Amino acid sequence: MNRRHFLSGGLRGSLLLALGSVLGAVTGRAKARTTVWQIDPWQCTACGRCATECVLELSAVKCVHSFDMCGYCQLCTGYFEPDPNRLNTAAENQLCPTGALQRSFIEEPYYEYTINEPLCVGCAKCVKGCTMFGNGSLHLQIRQDRCLNCNECAIARACPADAIHRVSALQPYQFKSRERKT
């Protein structure tokens, strides 16, 4: 019994040492400051996977609007279906499947488009319309109050443009602006 105790004690000690050295090797790269997942909107191709691939039932990705980039157009290609019947707020004319993108009149000829976030599912239909034919002011962002910060982000894995990466939690958003950071 004594020999067995001695052996197991020795093995325990060496396993502790091994664990300690792995820990030491990794601790050099440990970060107290956490990172979070975020979409680079300039790389995003608005494929629509964000709405379906997120592990949450309702995706953590939502559309956001950089108003300083918006042209405040009356015929918004992010808001209206292609070839809309009329330029009004009737559901048949809208691109957004949930009516989350809302339009309000400011002054002739300008309209403002805001996102009703609880309704938005992150399907990127408006983003695609806005980016292809407009100023590209509508874009997707991971909303950090909703994101679970999974070890491996499911939409990052599915993203065909490899647009989703970890960023510092100090700057958790990458909003589009007129100045594109490179």
Partner 1 sequence: MSQAVAPRFPPPEFTETSHVLPVPTAPGVPAVWFQYLDVAVLIAALVFVSWLLLRRRSRAGVVATGIFSILYFGFWKKGCICSIGSIQNIAQALSDSSFGVPLTVLFFGFTPLIFALFFGRVFCAAVCPHGALQDLVLLKPIKVPAWLDHSLRMLAWIYLGLAVVFAVTGGGFIICQYDPFVPLFRLSGSLTMVLLGVSLLVVGIFVGRPYCRFLCPYGVLLGLASSVSKWRVRITPDTCTQCRLCEESCPFGAIEKSTVEAPVRPQATDQRRLLLLLVLLPILIATGAGLGGMAGGALARKHRVVNLAERLQLENTGVVPDTTDASATFRAGTRSLESLDAEARALRHRYTVAARWCGAWIGLVVGLKLLSLAILRKRPDYEANQSRCLGCARCYRYCPQELQRLGLPVPAPPATAVE
- Nearest approach in angstroms of CB 83 to partner 1 is 19
| 47 versus 93: smaller Cβ distance to partner 1 | 47
Vertex 135, ends 132 and 141: CA angle to 5°? 85
How many other CB atoms are found less than 10 A from the CB of residue 26? 9
Please tell me the distance from the alpha carbon of residue 165 to that of residue 25, in angstroms, as a whole number.
24
- Nearest approach in angstroms of CB 177 to partner 1 is 8
Q: Provide the binding-site residues for partner 1, judged by CB under 8 A.
A: 8-9, 11-12, 15-16, 19, 22-23, 25-27, 29-36, 45, 47, 55-57, 64-73, 106-108, 110, 112, 114, 117, 133-136, 141, 143-146, 148-152, 157, 160-162, 169, 172-173, 175, 178-182
| 9 versus 97: smaller Cβ distance to partner 1 | 9
| 25 versus 91: smaller Cβ distance to partner 1 | 25
Residues in a beta bridge with 112: 104
CB 110 within 8 A of CB 72: yes
- Nearest approach in angstroms of CB 101 to partner 1 is 14
Please tell me the distance from the alpha carbon of residue 128 to that of residue 135, in angstroms, as a whole number.
11
- Nearest approach in angstroms of CB 21 to partner 1 is 11
- Nearest approach in angstroms of CB 182 to partner 1 is 5
Please tell me the distance from the alpha carbon of residue 121 to that of residue 130, in angstroms, as a whole number.
17
| 90 versus 162: smaller Cβ distance to partner 1 | 162
User: What does residue 164 show for φ and ψ, rounded to 5 degrees?
Assistant: -110, 125
For residue 90, the one-letter residue type is A
| 58 versus 93: smaller Cβ distance to partner 1 | 58
Verify cis geometry, omega within 30 degrees of 0, for the bond prior to 109.
yes
